[in-house]
Structure formats: C-alpha cells, structure tokens
Amino acid sequence: MAPLLPLTLDEASKVLEWPIGVSMALSELAQGPAISRVSSGEALLDYIVEMRRLGGMRDARLPARAVQGMGLFFRELVPEDFSRGFFGSLLPAMAQLALRLSALVKDHIDGSLRALPAGQSGMVLLSQELVASILACGFFCLYPSAERNKLDLPDLNFYKLFMALVDENREESAKHKIICLLHYFQIVCESVPQGMISYERKVLSLEQEMEDPFSFWSSSSRPLCQILVMEDGTIEGSDTPVLEVDFANRVLGGGVLGAGCLQEEIRCVINPELIAGRLFLPAMQDNEAIEIVGTQCYNRYEGYASSFRFAGKFFDNKARDAWGRKETHIVAIDALPFPGEAQFDAALMLRELNKAYCGFLVHQSIQCGGSSESTRGVATGNWGCGVFGGDHEVKSMLQWLAASEAGRPFLLYYTFKDPRTTKLQRIADWILEQKWSVLELWSVLIEYGKGRKYTKVGFFDWLLPD
C-alpha cells in the first residue's frame, strides 16, 4: 500500500510516516487561521498545492478551475457564517484528522489495509476512524496519482468536486455534494465513530462455479423468490434487513468526486465512507462485484441529479454486528453502458445475470461478522436503466433470477414511479402463480431475445398480451 498513500517509509523503523514538510504544514493548519493564514478558498487551494509539492508530487499544481471553484464555494455559494465556521474550527479539525493517518495505519499493520486487485477476491476491514482520516487526506488532495494510474485505481483527491462548481448546469448539485461531505467531516471530527467497515471484492469464478454458464442457468431448478414492487420509498430506506444495490460504475463511486450526481454518487455522499474504497479497489471486471458492510448514513437529501439537495443530518440508528459494523450491506454492480438492441442477445443478458448473481451471492466472509444473511433480501430498482439505456423489463427479470439463484428470500423492487415498470408486479405475480423455476424464466427470456429483432414489443406485453 505504501506507494498509494501520501506517507513515506522510514528505512530505519520500517514505519510509514508523513513527509516532514507535509507534517509541519498540516500541524500549522490544525492550529487555525491565525497561524496558517488560511481563511479563504483561494488561500486553501494554494496551501494544498504547497503540501502536494512538499510531499514530492510531480503534478503538485491543480487546475485553475479548481482554484476558481474553491474560491467561489466559500466566497459566494455558502453563507458567510458557514465559511467562517469552516476555516475557524472544521478545517483545523480535518487537518488534525489527516495527521492521524500514519498512526492509524500502524494499527492496521496486520495487513488488513491492502490493495484488492481485479481478479482476486478478498476483504479489507478498516476502523471508521481510519476511513475518516483517509477521506480527510482526500479533501487535502494528498494522494499521489502515478502509482494509482498504473493499477487502474480511481482518483481519491477532492479537487474535481470544486471544478464542477464552475459548470453552471451542475453548480447547485455539486455545491450540495460538497456540503454533504463537509457535514460528514463535522460529525466525525466532533465524535469519531468507533465501528468497523468491511470492503470486499467478490469474484465469480466462471470456470469453477459455472463450467458452462448457459447450462448452469438453463438447468437450475431453484424456485423464484418473492418479489414486491415498491412505487414509494428508496433502496436505502427499507425497514427490513436487505442487501442494498448500488447502481455502480466500473469504478466504485463513479463520478462522486466530480460532476456526477446519480444514484451511486448520491449514495456515496450520504454514506461518505463508501468513497474510501477507491483507495484500494481497482475497477470491476465483468464477473466481479464489491460489497461494503458497515458504512453509516450521515445526511438526508432531496431530489436527484441537478435537483439534488442536502436536507440535514440523518440519525443512523442501525445496530452493529459482532465485528462492530453497522448493519448496512451495500453491493456495487455495474451494468453494461449503452448496450442498445444488443442487450437482448443471450451473451449480454448472461453477462448482466452473472454480474447481479455475483453481487447477490452470500460470501462467507460477509457472514462471519455475526449478521444473518439467510433472511436478508435484495433491495434494488431500475439498475442500468437510466443514462445507460438498459431495458427496464428485462433488467428486472434478470435481477429477480439472480436473487433467486443466490438464495435470497425476497426482492424489493423500487420503481421510483417510473411508468415503464407499472406492469412489473402483475407479471411477477403471474409467473409465481405458474410456479416457474429459474430455468423456466431464463429460457423464456432467451426465447424473447431471439425474436426481439422481429418485434419491438416489450417483454411484458410479449409474455402476457392484454
């Protein structure tokens, strides 16, 4: 992990420490504006660039739009008392939190903090305090990019968030994303949560578990689980224990640290601890998913995309398991982007089915914290059906198949009042009345896909014409 962190290895002690110049700069910042002379967005950005230079980064300078955006945020986009409180108390506390990184990393010398490369299943278990320190370093843009690029790791520095403020079409939603993240820092700096969070790369070994992926699905006698279509509510708002689906990008968090503000990005700013996974989780491959257990929800929100707004503090009262993780299970699965009519081909449907199945499978490492997975259903919705252009009807069936084969007891499908899902419950009820198994529904989908080029009728009307 050493090349991925803003720390340097002391050759004598073999311990990761802050570079002396960066340590002194953060210590000065932690003493407040009277010492650091940082009381504006422009001054803060200049200070960050200097810390990057002191850390030995060749690309220490940041884009001019980042300077412009940070200055704009604290000068014009938030109230004066908000800015005064940030520079007077929150910024020094965040600097102190960042300084804790080297000490907190030492507490994880058992190897739990490590990269989880593509193609290899594994789990990282971190304290919420270390996660907070990791994110504070991201705010200060202290992560070197050279090694991250080699490993296909996403950026963890926050400067692009401020660049998004310069875009008039995204200014408001970007502003409220930043407010959510600063609200998170305010809470953890006042009282650091003492729980744990696990980040797991789940890999579906097609050779070992599916010698012939098509016949695997075409021979499954598993019954279909119950499905309940929810017109109201949100995936994260379910009152029952569920696995909550993140409509993910290949890269965890998608555009959360940039201009993005869709389902995944919103989830990451109300549960900011999800973002820390970007430190050690490269992009997902087709047979992979990422499951994160234990993140806390800190923010309420309203709206979506350009209408997204911070709506105050969220009080997360979920219990903790034996490992100290909040009982919030989130799985990131990335749908095919812009598949067009090809999405009805058997090979592409199989890819989406296996992706969801990998995400919904109960892996042993998730269970061993003590929380029961036998009663945990799946909460999902229109996965890959927004800007990616997926077909609502087929995608809902594929997720239902995956949840059933994975042994999940039920699937909650949140439609967000999308009119293209109005027939889903009626279709699902009819299929359950027929007592179809996984293989029967899969075979019907394959048949529909073969004939799709001859008709533009949706799957539901094809299956049950009015």
Q: Which residues are catalytic?
A: 246, 264-265
Q: Which amino acid type is present at position 464? A: L
Give 8's Cβ-side CA count (13 Å radius). Answer: 13
Q: Which amino acid type is present at position 23? A: S
Residue ranges of the binding site for substrate: 249, 263, 304
Residue 142 buriedness (CB in 10 A; 0-12 / 13-18 / 19+): buried
Spatial neighbors of 98 by CB under 8 A, at least 6 apart, are: 26, 133, 136, 137, 139, 140, 142
The closest alpha carbon to 227, from 426, 447, 456, belongs to 426
With both helix axes pointing from N to C terminus, report the angle between 346-360 and 438-451 in degrees, rounded to the nearest 10: 150
**Nearest-5° Cα angle at 359, 205 to 345:** 75
Q: How far is CA 118 from CA 37, 245, 274, 409, in A?
A: 44, 20, 18, 30
Cα 300 to chain centroid distance, Å, stands at 17
Q: Are 197 and 295 in contact (CB under 8 A)?
A: yes
